[in-house]
Structure 1
Amino acid sequence: MAPDPQSWPVPSGSVVDLYRDLHRHPELSGQETRTAARLASELARRQIDVTEGIGGTGVVGMLRNGDGPTVLLRADIDGLPVKELTGAPYASAASGVDRNGATVPVMHACGHDMHAAALIGAVDVLLERATEWAGTVAIVFQPAEETGEGALAMIADGLPQLVGTPVVALGQHVSPVPAGAVVAAAGIYGAASDNFRIRIHGVGGHASTPEAAVDPIVAAAATVMRLQAVISRETAAQEPAVLTVSSIHAGRAENAIPDEAELTVNLRSFSASTRHRLITAMRRVIDAESAAAGMTRRPSIERISGAPLLLNDPDATRRTFGALGESALDTHLVTQPMTGSEDFGALGEALGCPSVFWHWGGTAPDRYSPAELATLLAEARFPEHVPMNHSPEYLPDLEWALPAGIQAMSAAALHWLQQPTSAPLDQGTR
């Protein structure tokens, strides 16, 4: 079915104000205290039972409407250490202190503020249509998705005992595709992610006498270049994998050789064997380059965060997308997974239920020409004038993104809440 914006819910003024407020006041992963308090207040104002402080700053609301299945709806709530350059009237000027003690700018560069506002809007739809469904809705606002820590933290802090066993866990993510489109894969949908911090230990000295030092910057540069060959020369062309050196820091003075260089490395993989091979090769290269440079101390390699493989239950995904397609949205089940990562899948695994995660369009359709849209659908390439998530210029088109997100989440939830409890989903496909 073609998108029909006229049939999408119209967000209340309070939900629009909520989005703008969250966008203006983003918080870093694990520090979402203001955000969590605001969302807990929104749930309480709707007379929904609220539990706060799950896994740090996580919030859970339990909306009960008689006997029936439990459906879990999740939105993540953390921002990123990015300086906003959108020029929006509600742009963020916030800053925060990261885990290294540095003061950094903060913005919702990935749209988690839109996720949270759309989930509140979907709750409003469920309240308005309460006569059409029965059961319990577990409303989960999850912190620290960007660091891959939030889902596991909520699970360890009692989420399974609080929500029980849902028939399905549903999550969504705004993206710069045209509003009205929803995209997912039935099966593997997102890569596993592993983030490492590497410290190369050299011997500092004066820049005028490099022979008296052991320069960690040279070793770090050689390491960066050699790591690229892990993908280009040690990974089969048909096997998707990504290795990115995402930061490098060393030295503070222009006339001194530092005694240490620090790198961070991000790995993306789609199978346990590929993940193991990437990590093994990364460690081998880092150790070998340090040894070749004459380091007397082995480098330290620390895994700092990550996310598991994102798996969409095939049957649950097809059922959910059937409902979305009947609700004036343009559905696309793709065959290639995304190289992005998400910790959402950990929730379904821990709760023993199928999970479905999708992306919904947050960009006004008229920002795409017919040719650009065709290229996007055929090759997954975005036009240069449409900023991507994590860009300092990324900003969903509010008038399009919020109604579309509310429509997608509420339609999916209503589909599962209307299912008879006597016919649960066959979970053997997990």
Structure 2
Amino acid sequence: MKRKSAEDGAARAGLPGPSGELLARLEGIYQDFHANPELSMQEHRTAGIVAAWLRERGYEVTEAVGATGVVGLLRNGEGPTVLMRADMDALPIAESTGLPYSSRKTGTDRFGQPTAIAHSCGHDMHVAWLMGASEILAANLGAWRGTAMMVFQPGEETGQGARAMIEDGMIRRFPKPDVTLAQHVMPLSAGRIGWRTGTMLSAGDSWEVTLFGRGAHGSMPQKSVDPVVMAASAVMRLQTVVSREVAMTDSAVVSVCTLRAGMNENVIPDQALLRLNIRTFKDEVRTRVLAVVRRILEAEAAASGAPRPPEFSVLSEFPLTRNDEGATRKVVAALERHFGSDRIAEISPASASEDFGLFGTAWNVPTVFWVIGGIDPVLYEEARKAGRLDELPANHAPNFAPVVDPTLRTGIEAMLAAAGAWISPLTDTAANRAH
């Protein structure tokens, strides 16, 4: 691949968008990732592909950062360091999109259970975006100054990946960035971009809870302490946490996503297992909700005469994703210069959660996270007019997959525009003149 030198004055007009040839190549790569998803902390194939891609384009590549993470550095003279992140992992879900490149992969999840695997959150698109941005940066060295740090992160879905990379010495092993940037495909109209300052995404807590009973024959329930009834009662009572324990001026989500007990129709089991997911936007609300959930589960066990209290284990913890105001305004200005203000809109906080903010916290630098639409614009507009936006496939649904065009191009151009707000000399000059 021919690389333009840092002295190539013609390239100083700014970073170009992806060519048709690059988009076609990346579409094939995206489809390959989609058809070959890998679960959290198991992203060996994906990591190998992106590491080879970065090396071919002149990046200094470090693999196996926090298990399967990949960090690529492209140093291009004096200037800011910009961290750009893409998450790589897929979900334990059976895909139902019907796409010709649908996943048929299976594997073993973190609980040791066999499962289907699908990229039902869009991380395959994120990887393709960052690969495209990495090529354009490498091919246009005359258009920018500084260091591009490309981070391909494992284990976002389980909240393990960012922590694993940090615990593996990421902060001391790589240059301190001036800003950390990430973007996520969401069920907005494709080609549109959503942003906000301050709280962007909720905190997320997932627990596994084991309720203990006493087993018996199904014909002799009086001899049992039935954990199925205990669990059912607890699930119903947990529905009151938000409606009766959280003020109307605050918000929270409490979802029981797994309830498992027993194997046979005539055997009352001795245990029931619940897995819960909790989302909050304020630290004090999070503290209260977690305490209330624990109180309800312990009280239901006691009311049932359980032989022992429930056991609680933490499956994941996601911090609030908070966007730095100054850095976010800088990104938004760059996006509006590139796309026009009609495609960029401020949005409300989302109840999804991310571990990306841990990088900014660990380095004590600004974090900026924004979202990009992936729903076919015609279908989105039809659903909007019909008042049926909630029926469109969303992240983590088995039928969710972004349309490739214009989602792929938009994500590449958005990341380059955002990074360019720091590393492009002409952008900085223009911004200084504007002030």
TM norm structure 1: 0.92
The residue number in structure 2 matching 1:25 is 36
Partner-residue secondary structure (3-state), 2:208:
strand
Cα shift at 1:297: 0.6
Cα shift at 1:165: 1.6
Cα shift at 1:391: 1.1
The residue number in structure 1 matching 2:367 is 355
Cα shift at 1:164: 2.1
Which whole-Å CA distance do the structure 2 matches of 1:382 and 1:151 have between them? Answer: 32
- Return the match for 2:401 from 395, 398, 417: 395
1:73-222 aligned at under 5 Å gives the runs 73-222=84-233
Partner-residue secondary structure (3-state), 1:353:
coil
Which whole-Å CA distance do the structure 1 matches of 2:19 and 2:82 have between them? Answer: 20
Which whole-Å CA distance do the structure 1 matches of 2:345 and 2:200 have between them? Answer: 13
The residue number in structure 1 matching 2:9 is none
Which whole-Å CA distance do the structure 2 matches of 1:43 and 1:8 have between them? Answer: 16
> Structure 2 stretches of 5 or more lacking a match?
1-15, 430-435
Cα shift at 1:419: 5.7
How big is the alpha-carbon RMSD for the aligned residues of Structure 1 and Structure 2?
2.0
1:220-259 aligned at under 5 Å gives the runs 220-259=231-270
What amino acid is the match of 1:53? A
> In 2 relative to 1, CA 7–117 (structure 1 residues): closer, same or farther, beyond 3 Å?
closer
Which whole-Å CA distance do the structure 2 matches of 1:101 and 1:368 have between them? Answer: 38
Task: Map Cα deviations across residues 208-227 of structure 1 (whole Å, 9 max, x no partner).
Answer: 00001110000001100111
Runs of 4+ aligned structure 1 residues displaced above 6 Å come to none
> In 2 relative to 1, CA 370–392 (structure 1 residues): closer, same or farther, beyond 3 Å?
closer
Task: Tell me if the contact between 1:231 and 1:243 (Cα under 8 Å) persists in the aligned partners.
Answer: yes
What amino acid is the match of 2:314? R
- Return the match for 1:331 from 330, 344, 362: 344
Which whole-Å CA distance do the structure 1 matches of 2:274 and 2:75 have between them? Answer: 48
Cα shift at 1:74: 0.1
Partner-residue secondary structure (3-state), 1:369:
helix
Task: Map Cα deviations across residues 110-131 of structure 1 (whole Å, 9 max, x no partner).
Answer: 0000000010111122223321
The residue number in structure 2 matching 1:382 is 389
1:405 matched to 2:416? The reply is: no
> For structure 1, which segment, 360-369 or 221-230, has the greater mean C-alpha deviation from structure 2 after superposition?
360-369
The residue number in structure 2 matching 1:3 is none
1:312 matched to 2:296? The reply is: no
Task: Tell me if the contact between 1:362 and 1:404 (Cα under 8 Å) persists in the aligned partners.
Answer: no
Partner-residue secondary structure (3-state), 1:93:
coil
The residue number in structure 2 matching 1:70 is 81
1:418 matched to 2:424? The reply is: yes
> In 2 relative to 1, CA 391–203 (structure 1 residues): closer, same or farther, beyond 3 Å?
same
> In 2 relative to 1, CA 419–292 (structure 1 residues): closer, same or farther, beyond 3 Å?
farther
Cα shift at 1:371: 7.5
> In 2 relative to 1, CA 305–8 (structure 1 residues): closer, same or farther, beyond 3 Å?
same
Which whole-Å CA distance do the structure 2 matches of 1:162 and 1:362 have between them? Answer: 35
Cα shift at 1:374: 10
Which whole-Å CA distance do the structure 2 matches of 1:284 and 1:66 have between them? Answer: 57
> In 2 relative to 1, CA 13–368 (structure 1 residues): closer, same or farther, beyond 3 Å?
closer
Task: Map Cα deviations across residues 56-114 of structure 1 (whole Å, 9 max, x no partner).
Answer: 10000001111111000000000001111111111110011012211100000000000
Partner-residue secondary structure (3-state), 2:344:
strand
Task: Tell me if the contact between 1:20 and 1:90 (Cα under 8 Å) persists in the aligned partners.
Answer: yes
Which whole-Å CA distance do the structure 2 matches of 1:246 and 1:352 have between them? Answer: 35
What amino acid is the match of 2:211? I
Which whole-Å CA distance do the structure 1 matches of 2:307 and 2:195 have between them? Answer: 49
Partner-residue secondary structure (3-state), 2:180:
strand
Partner-residue secondary structure (3-state), 1:263:
strand
- Return the match for 1:340 from 343, 352, 372: 352
